[in-house]
Structure 1
Amino acid sequence: MTTHPRSPAAGLQGARCRGCSVAVYPADAACPRCGGPAESAVLSGAGTLWTWTVQRYAPKSPPYQPPPGGFEPFAVGYVELADG
């Protein structure tokens, strides 16, 4: 079985704070809760989807620069990961 690198089965490349242990995705060098250093961590990808929306309109320019293929709508969600 082959999994896509962003699929829940493959896990998510996130980060975990060394101090307060909060997990974040996408990975960041600093913790959003305490500001301490965060280390790279593979997160399970399982959790609870609390809300979502679809961004159907391109941001105003400037500063937005449309990509070569043009703007494509995308989904954004708030997920509470099982990893914390």
Structure 2
Amino acid sequence: MAGDEVSKKAEDHDIALGALARQEVLPLETVLSQVRKTISGEIVGIELERNSGVWVYQIKVIAPGDNMIQAFVDARTAKVIETRGQ
């Protein structure tokens, strides 16, 4: 099972690199820079997903007061689409 997890992560990484090479997504640092302007806290998780043809970063942040916030960010524009939690 551990081998399957490693294989899946490698495949996910390759998919993300391909999207970046095709300029379908912005570099992660560019996206994080924009997110940090609107959400304070420590980033503790990042996922890149494709939903209905749109690449979206799901970024988990522990905000002040130990509140968990999930930010959904358009990976092509770095615009925060939605936040959950507070």
Q: Tell whether the structures are fold-level matches, with TM greater than 0.5.
A: no
Instruction: State the TM-score, normalizing by the size of structure 1.
Output: 0.24
| Larger helix share, 1 or 2 | 2
Higher RCO by CA contacts (8 Å cutoff, separation 6 or greater)? 1
Instruction: State the TM-score, normalizing by the size of structure 2.
Output: 0.23
